[in-house]
Amino acid sequence: MILVTGGAGFIGANFVLDWLATRDEPVLNLDKLTYAGNLENLASVQADERYVFVQGDIADTPLVMQLLDQHKPRAIVNFAAESHVDRSILGPEDFIQTNIVGTFRLLDAARKYWGGLSTNEQAAFRFLHVSTDEVYGSLSASDPAFTENHRYEPNSPYSASKAASDHLVRAYHHTYGLPVLTTNCSNNYGPHHFPEKLIPLMIVNALAGKPLPVYGNGMQVRDWLYVRDHCSAIRRVLDGGRLGEVYNVGGWNEKPNIDIVHTVCALLDELRPRSDGKSYREQVKFVADRPGHDQRYAIDASKMERELGWKPAETFATGIRKTVQWYLDNPGWVANVQSGAYSKWVQTNYTSRP
């Protein structure tokens, strides 16, 4: 079996669902169930005998050692993290704890477990660390896209904590020979995306008749990838990636934030028109910028294509349409994730942005 950490979050849940739909191999999902972890994402596989869920922290070494010894996974895929930049600005501590200390403890438990495997099992074992393009910092409009050799220049507490975790993963390969792989991916979007992030926030706010808060001038650029394409890239790296290597994953799809918001509005105008006949664009509101806001991210994913034959299957037009439709089809999921602590977060982040 494989051990997935953070499998109840946005990308992890999509990965578990796709894995069980395409492979026979069982999955053990270790997730702390923070505000971002949601077992409803995995309701369709809850009764699948190939799926095991354990609530717990990647920083809990005795628990992780016990799970490794009991289930003997042949790979670990590490999604578990604090993932939201705005939360890292308002409260960095959890990011240091999970992204740095947690990744360190998970790596160290993996190293001990791996050291006790047979030679053949050791050769087959993989530790795949899921990371982000934000570790490379920010690009100007004319800079080439990030390659795997771009220097690390993280600018937020989130990206700094992910950069630190990437360095630890690299060091565990270099020093101890742990068979690691790292992926650095651009912005994902798709089903089960928690509505603290740009695209799902715009969809749920638009439908609720609320303002669509665009930071600064809305001209920051992100490279968007449909989440299931990210999942297929991770499977490809797990299957064929070269040990110790880093793979950049992206959608070849750079867009300014304001274009993303307008696209979401246009799709909603078509699929769920406002009752007053006006466009959802009327709800756009420019608000105070994110401190230290990175201007542009862009991924050069040619190594993935050259070495592993991977390319995204979705275009932005197809992926964003599927995404908007998913939110329209799942009002119950939206209502459940917006209860409780979510409204407190919205108040904290947006009342300070006149």
Interface positions with ligand DAU (CB under 6 A)? 83-85, 132-134, 186-187, 197-198, 201, 213-215, 220, 222, 257, 290, 297
Q: What is the CA 147 to chain-centroid distance, rounded? A: 19
Instruction: Respond yes or no: is residue 86 known to be catalytic.
Output: no
Coil, helix or strand for 40? helix
Q: How far is the CB of 37 from ligand NAD (least distance, A)?
A: 3
Catalytic site residue from 113, 158, 226, 247: 158
Scanning 30-38, 110-118, 199-207, 233-241 for contacts with ligand NAD by CB under 6 A, the matching segment is 30-38
Q: How far is CA 103 from CA 7, 137, 138, 205, in A?
A: 15, 21, 24, 34
Asked if residue 102 lies in contact with residue 181, where contact means CB atoms within 8 angstroms, the answer is no
Ranges within 65-94 binding ligand NAD (CB under 6 A): 79-81, 83
Q: Which is nearer to ligand NAD, 80 or 110 (CB)?
A: 80
Identify what 10 binds: ligand NAD, ligand DAU, none; CB under 5 to 8 Å per kind.
ligand NAD
When binding is defined by CB under 6 A, the residue of 59, 206, 237, 337 that contacts ligand NAD is 59
134 is a catalytic site residue? yes
- Report residue 274 as tokens: 């406002």
| Minimum CB–partner distance for residue 313 and ligand DAU (Å) | 19
Nearer to ligand NAD, 178 or 199 (CB): 199
CA atoms within 13 A on the CB side of 52: 14
| Beta bridge partners of residue 223, listed in sequence order | 254
Nearer of residues 186 and 283 to ligand NAD, judged by Cβ: 186
- The CA–CA distances, whole Å, from 54 to 11, 19, 151, 236 equal 18, 18, 37, 26
Distance of CA 44 to the CA centre of its chain: 21
136 binds ligand NAD (CB under 6 A): no
Please report, as residue ranges, which positions from 185 to 244 form the binding site for ligand NAD (by CB under 6 A): 185, 187-188, 194
Choose between 285 and 311: whose C-beta lies nearer to ligand NAD. Answer: 311
Write down the least CB distance from residue 353 to ligand DAU, Å.
8
Nearer to ligand DAU, 34 or 257 (CB): 257
Asked about 276 being catalytic, the answer comes back as no
Record the tokens describing residue 108, joined without a space: 């160290």
Please provide the DSSP assignment of 209-226 as one string.
Answer: T--EEEETTS--EEEEEE
Give the DSSP letter string of 264-317: HHHHHHHHS--TTS--GGGGEEEEPPPTT---B--B--HHHHHHH----S--HH
From 2, 4, 6, 159, residue interacting with ligand NAD (rule: CB under 6 A): 6
* Backbone φ and ψ of 204, nearest 5°: -70, -35
Compare residues 41 and 220 and give the one whose CB is closer to ligand DAU: 220
317 contact partners, CB below 8 Å, separation of at least 6: none
Query: Least CB distance from residue 202 to ligand DAU, whole Å?
Result: 8
Torsion of CA 135, 141, 142, 148, to 10 degrees: 20
Active site residues: 133-134, 158
> Which residues contribute to the site for ligand NAD (CB under 6 A)?
5-6, 8-12, 30-34, 36-37, 57-59, 79-81, 83, 98, 102, 130, 132, 162, 185, 187-188, 194
